[in-house]
Structure 1
Amino acid sequence: MWAYVLRRLLLMIPTLLGVLIITFAVTQFVPGGPVEQMVSQLKSGGAVGGGESAASGGAGYRGRQGVDRAQVEEIKKLYGFDKPPLERFVQMLVSFARFDLGKSFYHHKDVWELVKEKLPVSISLGLWTFFLSYLISVPLGIAKAVRAGSRFDAITSLFVLVGYAIPGFVLGVALLVLFGGGSFLAWFPLRGLTSSNWHDLSLGAKVVDYLWHIALPVTASVLGSFAVLTMLTKNSFLEEIRKQYVLTARAKGLGERSVLWKHVFRNALIPLITGFPAAFIGAFFTGSLLIETLFSLDGLGLLSYESVIRRDYPVVLGTLYLFTLIGLVTKLIGDLCYVWVDPRVKFD
């Protein structure tokens, strides 16, 4: 096992390098970078320095005419673009090896600080989505497998697949119109995770206020994830129920409940358990851009989108490195879970 783990850890190095090389190369050819944005701001009479006007200036970039060459070189030096691309890439790799993710061009903060600031929002949205999906989908999938072909199975399949077919952001818009003070009812707030006076509330009132704010975005996020988990659980249980050992257990006189929970349950949950680590860790670091934008939730999804639009390369590359590394480690843990759940699986 340890030899297998070591091989997988060593394979992470070229994978990380490949991801970073491709992304870094793409950023060298994308127009409207931080230098061009600053030059555009200088042409329009703006102040030198990062900021929203500088970030948005790239859309109106018309070249470097009218800006002193020395100023352009100074701006390049300010953002580190005075060095050759290969030298900048090597410096970035050395920094990443020390887990120094760099400093944002736009926010003027370390990328680590930005991730920690945005993480609570993504954790709130991701963990609720994760737990509700598993807590509802697994029991529902088992019930569908036991009642396969019945009216209950057909009706629940219809609702689950309809929910899967509706995009989360479309459902979010509908929820806001219906219950968020749109054209009908004003039962839930339009934006944010908490009210403006949240710190002045009692502990019980804080919990209620938080749940009140998170209800609509979680509903919009979780509905689409029901279908995959529910149908995967159902199909896994159906496959196990039809195997010979189940028929043998029934022939020995074991009750249906005992057969289901003592014999079928562990084998049928192998696909779900092995995907559990990736889903759980992913809940901390994945952000739904459209849901976060729709409900004005300032999380990692919105940060990633804005960093690409603003050409904030340290944030783009730093978060990409962090999330890719976490994803590779989580994938390894998921593969090891196969052996933990099913000893028949061999590393050979």
Structure 2
Amino acid sequence: MSVCIFSTFNFQFSIQINMITQRKKVGLVSLGCDKNRVDGEKLLYEVAKHYDITSAIEDANVLIVNTCAFLGSAREEAINAVFEYLPYKESGNLEKIIMTGCLPQKFVGDMFDDFTEVDAFLGTKDGSLITQAIDEVYKGKRLNLVGKGKELGCSRIVTTPEHFAYLKISDGCNNHCTYCLIPKIRGKFVSRPIESLVEEAKGLGEVEELILVAQDTTRYGEDLYGEIKLVELIRALSALDTVKRIRLMYCYPELIDDKLIAEIRDNEKIIKYLDIPLQHASDRILKLMNRKGSYASYVALVNKLKEAIPSLVIRSTFIAGFPTETEEDVEILERFLKEAKLMNAGFFAYSREKDTPAYKIDGQIKEP
């Protein structure tokens, strides 16, 4: 029977699964990034061993809200999602709400006592406890299981359209950008073994486009092998007949070296596209952000990439309104964009986050 997983983005995701109607029906709302989506897909696979999966919120007995907490707006979205579906708990089939992911991982201590609408909380690495959590809340218990479980394995119920799937190659981050909560939420950078990732990719079946994601894709393997092994991973995945194309996301600029550039150029399976989060171009602001690059190094990298791979599409993202940013800093960024001629650039307003170094910087810019 074909069903769809619902999400707050209103995408419909087709999956095939045997339905056993007498069991509880479980739905999933997955918020935030594509890395979080992969975590949600693994939760679905684990849940489907014991419960039915439903796409219809009005039919769900249990709702899992898999959350993001990177920004204040993401935390607000997660909390609002619970209240959005709460009427189904008060007057419909919905009986239990379980919150998983980044928000409870970082903030469960602030939430557990007061956020009683949620029956159980699990963190980013507690997927092994998801079925136990469902069983226990039906015994009348309210649970805080953050930090008490283990990560799930490779198996997933893929929720993306048939032509692409994500492969999360690592978790956590060692970069410690001053505006970012990720290291406080996801922990240190941890790569997954090449063999495990190849096995997971095989399990996805035929994939037109396999998208490699991580907080820092270009650092892959450094912690596990003592040196960066992204190219070796790409080659191992490229050898799979079921993988038609590979796309690289979240490549930090200072780690894009000649070896990786040559692989992107020469490997026919790699899409000639790079997502490189630069965040700014003013040397002063980059230093305050604890970014390793500079205006000059960014220009040099873009020119080098274009020369080596003329057809390459480069996308980047930038933060506007970082503390102490001046008109001069903005003009520097504008000059960089004109010089670099990126194919696509996204801009995000700086979000002041407690427990980050940037939160304490004098010169916070007020919104107009």
Query: TM-score category by the smaller chain?
Result: under 0.3
More helix per residue: 1 or 2? 1
Larger RCO: Structure 1 or Structure 2 (Cα < 8 Å, ≥ 6 residues apart)?
1
**TM-score computed with the length of structure 2 as normaliser:** 0.21
TM-score by length of 1: 0.22
Larger Rg: 1
